[in-house]
Structure 1
Amino acid sequence: MPALFVTGTGTDIGKTYVSCALIRALKARGAAVDAFKPVVSGFDPRDAAGSDPARLAAALGDPAGLFRIAPRRYRAPLAPNIAARLEGQTLVLDDLVIDAVARTAELRDGLLLVEGAGGVMSPLTDTATNLDMITALGAPALLVAGSYLGTISHVLTALVALRAARVRVAAVVLSESLDAPDLAQTAGALAPFLGDAALFTAPRRETWDAGPLADHLADHLLAHLGQP
């Protein structure tokens, strides 16, 4: 069963928003889909329902699945390795990879969305980044970016890092940022620099349909990927 690693150009740019919409679109098409967040920081148990894993669980139609989706949760809104250390734990890349591989074994068909913490080069452990986990899994990446001024440079920098590590980029999603330049205009300026990476836009509205993105992934990933 293939896995897709949802990463970003940074934090708070819409990874979970895009993942939730993609989950709903895939489910509407009858596809088997699940989600996994290897590690979450900034998790407030008193507001668990407002957390990113809770939103993923709701999109999956499994409101009680928060703890299954995110087994490693830390309170401090810091890089996961620092947040874990504040609670007396040390994150190890091999453990995070094993967790993700185990989750792939639970779903025979369909797609597992593995959502990272922060951006492509954000640290997960004291010595490893999201990029290290992506390459260890052998999974393609869905790169999510904001539409703020300066995002084009951030997208292209992230793509250089992913491609240098020989990560297959399934698509780039430009998620609309508040008080930012026009989304379509920014996408138009970015597109000529993407090479063979498909570009999708994600307006910030409840009615945004991720169907075209879901169809692209179904056409180009599900039929060709094996176990990570």
Structure 2
Amino acid sequence: MKRVFVAGAHTDVGKTFVACGLVQAALAAGVSVEALKPVASGFDPDDWIDSDPGRLLRALGLPLTHEALEGITPWRFTAPLAPPMAARLEQRDLSLPAIADYCAARAAQSCADFFVIEGVGGLMSPIAEAATGLDLMGALKFPVVLVGGSYLGSISHTLTALETARAHGLTVAGVVVSQSRDPEAPAFLETLCEVQAFARDAPVFGAPLDDLTDWPPRLYEAL
């Protein structure tokens, strides 16, 4: 089984876009896939079709039902805050061991050929009480696909996240630079080339806006 953890160098850089691209590439290759986004905040239970879990379910070809939602994202919080902050508002517990054990058990029990986990926010965003996304990644030890943007400052964010992951003993299987929707953002191809120049042995892929035709199959094959 191939396993991968899709992490962000920052928030709103396209983690779900990349996770969906990998899912679709694997399915197109005839491979069975299972995916999780174990924790989500800013979640509207009355309008979640276009949420991150909803988009992952559609990529998997699964029905948009409450049962399917519960299976892909068991920890959901309404406030658009870091998950532990949102959990406190709802007076709910959110612990790293619970999340890590759940993810590990699901991966161990899965019969799928490809297992994808998507994190929240950036690499060091809090995901549970006294724990960041990096802590979850360290507990699971899945190879990492790191997603960065192409906004002004994104090169530093991406390379810092890359070195942080490596310093914690994680295998970075690929880096994806997603194109910014901001018309004032630096040139996408130049940003991509700058990241490639400093990424050393990590393969770097460019993800143009809304384009899932080229890079997902190449990224999937690189894992």
Q: 1:21 to 1:100 in 2, by over 3 A?
A: same
Matches within 5 A, 1:14-33: 14-33=14-33
TM-score (structure 1 length as normaliser): 0.91
1:51 equivalent in alignment to 2:56: no
Residue 61 of structure 2: aligned partner: 61
Matches within 5 A, 1:120-199: 120-178=123-181, 179=183, 180-199=185-204
Contact 2:21 2:212 in 1 (8 A): no
Paired residue for 1:91, among 83, 90, 94? 94
**d(CA) in 1 for partners of 2:205 and 2:48?**
30
% identity of equivalent residues:
47
1:212 equivalent in alignment to 2:215: no
State the one-letter code of the partner of 1:212. Answer: R
Q: 1:29 to 1:11 in 2, by over 3 A?
A: same
Contact 2:34 2:112 in 1 (8 A): no
Whose strand fraction is larger, Structure 1's or Structure 2's?
2
- Cα deviation, 1:118-172, whole Å, max 9, x if unaligned, reads 1111111221111111011111111001111111100111012101101000100
**d(CA) in 2 for partners of 1:197 and 1:98?**
28
TM-score (structure 2 length as normaliser): 0.93
**d(CA) in 2 for partners of 1:156 and 1:50?**
30
State the one-letter code of the partner of 1:118. Answer: G
Contact 2:23 2:33 in 1 (8 A): yes
Contact 1:39 1:80 in 2 (8 A): yes
Contact 1:142 1:173 in 2 (8 A): yes
**d(CA) in 1 for partners of 2:20 and 2:3?**
16
Deviation at residue 206 of structure 1 after TM alignment: 4.6
**d(CA) in 1 for partners of 2:14 and 2:35?**
15
- Cα deviation, 1:193-217, whole Å, max 9, x if unaligned, reads 0010000011112554311111212
Q: State the secondary structure of the residue aligned to 2:218.
A: helix
State the one-letter code of the partner of 1:137. Answer: L
Deviation at residue 80 of structure 1 after TM alignment: 0.3
Can you give the 5+ residue segments of structure 1 that lack an aligned partner in the other structure?
A: 218-228
**d(CA) in 1 for partners of 2:208 and 2:140?**
30
Can you give the 5+ residue segments of structure 2 that lack an aligned partner in the other structure?
A: none
Q: 1:207 to 1:140 in 2, by over 3 A?
A: closer
**d(CA) in 1 for partners of 2:37 and 2:161?**
20
Residue 10 of structure 2: aligned partner: 10
